[in-house]
Amino acid sequence: MKRQDIHNIGRRTPAWLVGVATLGFMLGGLSDGQAGSALPAAINGQTLPTLADILEPVIPAVVNIATTTRIQVPDNPLLSDPFFRQFFHFPNQPGRAREQKSLGTGVVVDAQKGIILTNQHVIDKADQITVTLRDGRSIQARRIGVDVATDIAVIQVQAKNLKDLPLGDSDALRVGDFVVAIGNPFGLGQTVTSGIVSALGRKGLGLKGYEDFIQTDASINPGNSGGALVNLRGELIGINTAILARGGGTVGIGFAIPVNMARRIMEQLLQYGEVRRGVLGIQSQDLTAELAEAFALSVKEGAVIALVVPGSPAEKAGLQRGDVIIQANGHPIHGMADLHNTVGLARTGERIDLDLIRDGAVKRVKVVIAEPEREQMQGEQIDSRLQGALLEITENAESENAESAKAKKIEGIHVVSVEPDSVAWAIKLRADDRILSVNRKVVTSFRDLKAILQRVKNKLLINIRRGNENLFILVR
């Protein structure tokens, strides 16, 4: 499954009106402190229940985001081919400028400082970001930072009389809770849709590196990306990010990033301008029923440590192969994806308390997340066919698949970025790819990569990992 463009998944039936009426009756007796604003309890012959009282103070905090991206289009189509330019020694030429525009949504979370949360893909590569408020004001925004791995971005505006949205607790959500999605679909202006929480902790969708999505049937439409998913207390509990729309059809499945995850990413972006992820130094796998039986365990869920990297924080803390991690900082670990998220969202230097089972006994181990070792090099320093790519070798931070990484600390070479008008782009390398092998020879260092490329001057078969998929690139 891969990210789809956000499509209209709206649907409404008379049954929903019955549900709202029932909800109004249930909440009618609650105090303002419990429900934000009580809904009318009377139904027959009386005013129908409404969410308006809850939404009126919320809607001004949800803003429209318009982006402009300037791209260069060569006057001669042949000049767009980097191989042609390189062969005939044509210099890079700017060509004609063209603007691309897009729309999205954001949520004001700090009115005093003008801090706005949105999706990374909403402002990706934007040269200009314009925020339009509910009252019609349009303000230029400054990019604070983005995190591709979680699809979270933070921008800032300088404006008075902003309204912000209080942050809720996404860990307290339950399947069946009523939620409201607010966004700017199709550029029509703010639109509100409603539904319930359909599922929690959705992972393995192949959308981003760290996944723990809230699934909802509230309609999420084009332009809703970065918008608010709120509860009936008027609190932000998620950032709308994607829908499932196979074959272009409507299936009523939308996904939002939990606000607790977004909050942790936002804090790092505000402090550092980037997310500083560390490493624990293990590789793990899901605890299956067969493994639980083999280990003689009564628990049915957890992450089994399959490898402890020598010299890593995990080894220093005393973690061992075969340990089954069942909790991290008091939160249950259902499998390796939960552990991957926990470590990936932790700051470098942060301490994590792990509860694990070893030899039938429950133990608590305290481990400090360490900063990974990094080494970077420009692609053209290795080979001209990699011109325009920034490459990096990073200590592998918690592979989700213990079998794929075997016993190596380094798993391939990470492509940090690729210039759009470059040779590396032309051979279809992209940012966040991981080069695993070239001509079927595994590469774990710049020396390995350079040696292979120097020997082979014609055909190259590059095996890369892109997201959760492995694929080959043929370079002639």
135 DSSP assignment: T
37 vs 27, 199, 246, 473, CA distance in Å? 9, 26, 38, 57
Catalytic residue among 37, 102, 219, 225: 225
Report the DSSP beta bridge partners of residue 347.
Answer: 277
For the chain, how far is it from start to end, CA to CA, in angstroms? 30
- The region that residue 171 occupies, defined by phi over 0 for left and psi between -120 and 50 for alpha, beta otherwise, is alpha
d(CA 180, CA 170): 14
Angle at 472 (CA atoms; ends 466, 475), nearest 5 degrees: 120
Residue type, 286: D
Q: What residues form DSSP beta bridges with 320?
A: none
Dihedral sign, CA of 146, 466, 245, 195? negative
* Residue 121 annotated as catalytic: yes
Non-local CB neighbours of 197 within 8 Å, separated by 6+ positions:
173, 174, 175, 176, 177, 179, 214, 215, 216
Query: In terms of Cα–Cα distance, which of 339, 312, 311 is closest to 327?
Result: 339
Active site residue 151: yes
Among all chains, which residue has been given the structure tokens 């505006």? 157
- C-alpha closest to that of 171 among 234, 243, 233, 261: 261
Residue positions counted in the chain:
476
Among 7, 37, 147, 151, the one annotated catalytic: 151
CA angle, 252 then 193 then 140, to 5°: 110
Query: In the 3-class helix/strand/coil scheme, how is 267-281 assigned residue by residue?
Result: HHHHHHCCCCECECC
- Tokens 């061992």 correspond to 320
**Strand ranges for 112-190 from DSSP E:** 115-119, 128-132, 138-140, 142-147, 152-156, 178-183
Q: For residue 141, what is the enclosing H or E element?
A: none
Judge whether 225 counts as a catalytic residue.
yes
Q: Please list the alpha-helical segments (H only) found in 71-176.
A: 82-87, 120-123
Contact 364, 352 (CB under 8 A): no
Cα 188 to the center of its chain, rounded Å: 26
Q: Which of 121, 338, 422, 437 is catalytic?
A: 121
Q: Which amino acid is at 187?
A: G
Contact yes or no for 153/122 (Cβ under 8 A) = yes
Residues with catalytic annotation? Answer: 121, 151, 225
